[in-house]
A = this chain, B = another copy of it.
Amino acid sequence: MTVPTGRRERKKAATRQKIADAALGLFLERGYDAVGIREVAAEADVAVTTLFSHFASKEALVFEQDEDFEQRLTCAVTGRAPNEPLIPALRGEVQALVRHCTADSAAPVWRMIEASPALRKYEESMRLRHAETLAAAITADPALSPTPTAGRTIARFVIDAYSLAREAADPDAAVDEIFQMIEAAWQATGPSRPA
């Protein structure tokens, strides 16, 4: 039961990558909705069932590496220095994530996402999941001890900030503006909160 680092793992990862690459290539070239699963499987030279053993759905082919997202936000909460205030920490993390998504290199992918209702829906549910995870992290922090409702609310607001800023004309300015509102909302939940 040692760490499994054999050839099989590498082969599996390679297959997964091959599928993801084939999918992204076809999607960007001809549009997400115009490419069928069977085509992607054929391009990657695997069976359809194999494709679905690596990815839970067609949409998941596009959001391949967005597991980080959840972790980065919760780490911004749980991994901050003692007495470091919550909101600025989240602000920094959201700022970084927004910049990452609005970089020129990511533009074609996001254009594709916004062009497909199915992908938009999928991303919406992802956001909600992230909000719930974040809410759990905030509620569990003994240095904050908000009411459950307040914790969940702040988590939603933070995810909203990410979503809105990404679409804004000036993402950086939008992050600033929205986080001023979030800061005020947070202060309203407990006036004697550490700044």
Q: Evaluate contact between B180 and A152: CB separation under 8 angstroms.
A: no
Known: A147-B177, A156-B160. 17 other contacts (CB 8 A): A121-B125, A124-B128, A148-B168, A149-B173, A150-B177, A150-B181, A153-B160, A153-B161, A153-B181, A156-B163, A157-B157, A157-B185, A180-B189, A181-B185, A181-B188, A184-B185, A184-B188
B-binding residues in A (CB < 8 A): 120-121, 124-125, 128, 147-150, 152-154, 156-157, 160-161, 163-164, 168, 173-174, 177-178, 180-189
How many copies of the chain does the oligomer comprise?
A: 2
Determine the chain B residues whose CB is within 8 A of the CB of A161 once the complex forms.
153
A160 touches which of B160, B168, B177 (Cβ 8 Å): B160
Assuming A121-B124, A182-B185, is B149 touching A156 (CB within 8 A)? no
A181 touches which of B125, B164, B173, B189 (Cβ 8 Å): B189
